[in-house]
Chain A
Amino acid sequence: MNWFDQIHHIGPAFALLLGAGVVMGADLVRPGRAPILSLTLLSLLAGFAWAIWQVLAGTNGPAISGAVVVDEFALFFTFLLIGVTAAVVIVTAEGLSRAEPRPEFFALLLTAAGSMVLLAQAQDLIAIFVFLETTSVSQFVLAGIARDDRSSEAGLKYLLAGAVAAAVLLYGFAFLFGLSGTTSLDGIATFVSSNAGGTELALVFGFVLVAAGLGFKMSIAPFQAWVPDVYEGAPTTVTSFLSVASKAAGFAVALRLFYTGLGGADTFIAEHWAALFAVLAGASMTFGNAAAILQTNVKRLLAYSSIAQAGNVAVGLAAVAASGAAGPSAVLFFLATYAATNLGAFFCVIVVSERIGSERLADYAGLIRRSPAVAVVLLLCLLSLTGIPPTAGFLAKLYVFNSAVQTGIDWMVILVAVAVLNSAVSAFYYLRWARTMVLDDPVDETPFRATAPVQGLLGLAAFGVLFFGLAPSSLLQAAQRAAANLL
Chain B
Amino acid sequence: MLTVFLLLPLVGALTVLTLPRDNEGNARWVALFYSVLTFIMSVAIFIRFDPDNPGYQFVDRFEWIQGGDTGFTVQYALGVDGLSAPLVLLTGLLSLAAVLVSWNIDLRPKQYFAWLLVLETAVAGVFLSLDLIQFFFFWELELLPMYMLISIWGSGRPRYSAMKFLLFTMGGSAFMLVGFLVLGLSAGTFDIAVLATEAGRPLDAVIPLSVVFWLVMAAFLVKLPVIPVHTWLPDAHTDAPTAVSVMLAGVLLKMGGYGILRIALPIMPDQARDFGVVLAIIAAASVIWGAILTLQQRDLKRLVAYSSVSHMGYVLLGVSALGAVGLSGAALQMFTHGTITGLLFIVVGLIYDRTHTRQISDMSGLLHRMPVLGVVMIIAGLASLGLPALSGFVAEFTVFAGTIQAHPAATIIAVFGVVLAAGYILWAVQRVFTGPPDERWTGLTDAREWWEYTAMASMLIFIVGVGVYPRLLTDVIESGVEPIALLVQAVA
Digitize A388-408: 1 where CB-to-B-CB distance is under 8 Å, 0 elsewhere: 111000010011011001101
Q: State which of A33-41, A410-418, A452-460 sits at the interface with chain B.
A: A410-418
Q: Tell me the nearest residue of chain B to A476, going by C-beta.
A: B69
Q: By the criterion CB–CB under 8 Å, are B181 and A424 in contact?
A: no
Residue A68 interfacial (CB < 8 Å): no
Q: How far is the CA of A388 from the CA of B65 in the complex (A)?
A: 16
Residue A202 interfacial (CB < 8 Å): no
A-B contact pairs, 9 of them (CB 8 A): A395-B65, A398-B74, A402-B185, A405-B186, A416-B181, A424-B174, A424-B177, A439-B152, A476-B70
How close is A135's CB to chain B, nearest CB, in angstroms? 32
Q: How far is the CA of A389 from the CA of B64 in the complex (A)?
A: 12
Q: How far is the CA of A83 from the CA of B16 in the complex (A)?
A: 39
List B residues at the A interface (Cβ < 8 Å). 64-66, 69-72, 74, 133, 136-137, 140, 148, 151-152, 170-171, 173-175, 177-178, 181-182, 185-186, 205-207, 215
Q: By the criterion CB–CB under 8 Å, are A480 and B69 in contact?
A: yes
Q: By the criterion CB–CB under 8 Å, are B137 and A390 in contact?
A: yes
Residue A245 interfacial (CB < 8 Å): no
Q: How far is the CA of A185 from the CA of B259 in the complex (A)?
A: 51
Q: How far is the CA of A439 from the CA of B149 in the complex (A)?
A: 11
Residue A199 interfacial (CB < 8 Å): no
Q: By the criterion CB–CB under 8 Å, are B70 and A405 in contact?
A: no
Q: By the criterion CB–CB under 8 Å, are A439 and B206 in contact?
A: no
Contact of A424 among B66, B170, B215 (CB under 8 A): B170
Count of chain A residues with a beta carbon within 8 Å of a chain B beta carbon: 31
Q: Tell me the nearest residue of chain B to A324, going by C-beta.
A: B71
Report chain B residues within 8 Å CB of A420. Answer: 174, 177-178, 181
Q: How far is the CA of A427 from the CA of B174 in the complex (A)?
A: 10
5 new A-B pairs (CB below 8 Å) besides A402-B181, A416-B178, A421-B174?
A389-B136, A398-B181, A406-B185, A424-B177, A472-B69
Question: A-B pairs with the 6 shortest C-beta distances?
Answer: A424-B174, A405-B185, A413-B206, A420-B178, A389-B137, A417-B178
How close is A152's CB to chain B, nearest CB, in angstroms? 41
Q: By the criterion CB–CB under 8 Å, are B182 and A413 in contact?
A: yes
Q: Tell me the nearest residue of chain B to A471, going by C-beta.
A: B64
Report chain B residues within 8 Å CB of A412. Answer: 206
Complex interface residues of chain A between 359 and 379 (CB less than 8 A to chain B): none
- From known contacts A389-B137, A390-B137, A401-B181, infer whether A410 and B69 are also in contact, taking CB-CB under 8 Å: no
Q: Tell me the nearest residue of chain B to A407, going by C-beta.
A: B206
Q: By the criterion CB–CB under 8 Å, are A402 and B71 in contact?
A: yes
Q: By the criterion CB–CB under 8 Å, are B181 and A406 in contact?
A: no
Report chain A residues within 8 Å CB of B177. Answer: 420, 423-424
Residue A296 interfacial (CB < 8 Å): no
Q: By the criterion CB–CB under 8 Å, are A423 and B65 in contact?
A: no
Q: By the criterion CB–CB under 8 Å, are B69 and A406 in contact?
A: no
Q: How far is the CA of A389 from the CA of B140 in the complex (A)?
A: 9
Q: By the criterion CB–CB under 8 Å, are B170 and A427 in contact?
A: yes
Q: Tell me the nearest residue of chain A to B148, going by C-beta.
A: A439
List A residues at the B interface (Cβ < 8 Å). 326, 388-390, 395, 398-399, 401-402, 405-406, 408-410, 412-414, 416-417, 420-421, 423-424, 427, 439, 470, 472-473, 476-477, 480
Q: By the criterion CB–CB under 8 Å, are A326 and B178 in contact?
A: no
Report chain B residues within 8 Å CB of A414. Answer: 207
Report chain A residues within 8 Å CB of B181. Answer: 398, 401-402, 405, 416, 420
Q: By the criterion CB–CB under 8 Å, are A421 and B178 in contact?
A: yes
Q: By the criterion CB–CB under 8 Å, are B206 and A409 in contact?
A: yes
Chain B contact residues, majority secondary structure:
helix
- Interface-central residue, A395, A412, A420, A476, by most chain B CB under 10 Å: A420
- Interface-central residue, B72, B177, B186, B205, by most chain A CB under 10 Å: B177
Report chain A residues within 8 Å CB of B148. Answer: 439
Q: By the criterion CB–CB under 8 Å, are B133 and A389 in contact?
A: yes
Q: How far is the CA of A321 from the CA of B207 in the complex (A)?
A: 17
How close is B207's CB to chain A, nearest CB, in angstroms? 5
Q: By the criterion CB–CB under 8 Å, are A402 and B206 in contact?
A: no
- From known contacts A395-B65, A417-B178, A480-B69, infer whether A405 and B137 are also in contact, taking CB-CB under 8 Å: no
Q: By the criterion CB–CB under 8 Å, are B69 and A473 in contact?
A: yes
Q: Tell me the nearest residue of chain A to B66, going by C-beta.
A: A473
Q: Tell me the nearest residue of chain A to B176, going by C-beta.
A: A420
Q: Tell me the nearest residue of chain A to B74, going by C-beta.
A: A398
How close is B110's CB to chain A, nearest CB, in angstroms? 14
Q: How far is the CA of A409 from the CA of B182 in the complex (A)?
A: 12
Report chain B residues within 8 Å CB of A480. Answer: 69
Q: How far is the CA of A79 from the CA of B196 in the complex (A)?
A: 43
Q: By the criterion CB–CB under 8 Å, are A424 and B69 in contact?
A: no
Q: How far is the CA of A477 from the CA of B177 in the complex (A)?
A: 26
Report chain B residues within 8 Å CB of A472. Answer: 65, 69
Q: By the criterion CB–CB under 8 Å, are A439 and B151 in contact?
A: yes
Report chain B residues within 8 Å CB of A423. Answer: 174, 177
Q: How far is the CA of A480 from the CA of B182 in the complex (A)?
A: 22
Q: By the criterion CB–CB under 8 Å, are A402 and B174 in contact?
A: no
Q: Tell me the nearest residue of chain B to A414, going by C-beta.
A: B207
Q: Tell me the nearest residue of chain B to A434, going by C-beta.
A: B144
How close is A186's CB to chain B, nearest CB, in angstroms? 29
Report chain B residues within 8 Å CB of A395. Answer: 65
Q: By the criterion CB–CB under 8 Å, are A402 and B70 in contact?
A: yes
How close is A411's CB to chain B, nearest CB, in angstroms? 9
Q: How far is the CA of A420 from the CA of B172 in the complex (A)?
A: 12
Report chain A residues within 8 Å CB of B206. Answer: 405, 408-410, 412-413
Q: By the criterion CB–CB under 8 Å, are B133 and A424 in contact?
A: no
How close is B49's CB to chain A, nearest CB, in angstroms? 28
Q: How far is the CA of A389 from the CA of B178 in the complex (A)?
A: 15
Q: By the criterion CB–CB under 8 Å, are A388 and B140 in contact?
A: yes
How close is B130's CB to chain A, nearest CB, in angstroms? 16
Q: How far is the CA of A401 from the CA of B186 in the complex (A)?
A: 11
Q: How far is the CA of A295 from the CA of B270 in the complex (A)?
A: 45
Q: How far is the CA of A80 from the CA of B71 in the complex (A)?
A: 25
Q: How far is the CA of A299 from the CA of B133 in the complex (A)?
A: 32
Q: Tell me the nearest residue of chain B to A432, going by C-beta.
A: B163
Q: How far is the CA of A331 from the CA of B182 in the complex (A)?
A: 19
Report chain A residues within 8 Å CB of B215. Answer: 417
Contact of A413 among B74, B174, B207 (CB under 8 A): B207
- Interface-central residue, B65, B173, B178, by most chain A CB under 10 Å: B178
How close is B408's CB to chain A, nearest CB, in angstroms? 37
Q: How far is the CA of A159 from the CA of B65 in the complex (A)?
A: 43
Report chain B residues within 8 Å CB of A427. Answer: 170
- Interface-central residue, B65, B136, B148, by most chain A CB under 10 Å: B65
Report chain A residues within 8 Å CB of B65. Answer: 395, 472-473
Q: Tell me the nearest residue of chain A to B207, going by C-beta.
A: A413
Q: How far is the CA of A417 from the CA of B71 in the complex (A)?
A: 20
Contact of A410 among B64, B137, B207 (CB under 8 A): B207
- From known contacts A389-B133, A389-B137, infer whether A424 and B171 are also in contact, taking CB-CB under 8 Å: yes
How close is B162's CB to chain A, nearest CB, in angstroms? 10
How close is A319's CB to chain B, nearest CB, in angstroms? 11
Q: By the criterion CB–CB under 8 Å, are B71 and A326 in contact?
A: yes
Q: By the criterion CB–CB under 8 Å, are B174 and A406 in contact?
A: no
Q: How far is the CA of A423 from the CA of B152 in the complex (A)?
A: 26
Report chain B residues within 8 Å CB of A390. Answer: 137
Q: How far is the CA of A414 from the CA of B181 in the complex (A)?
A: 12
How close is B190's CB to chain A, nearest CB, in angstroms? 10
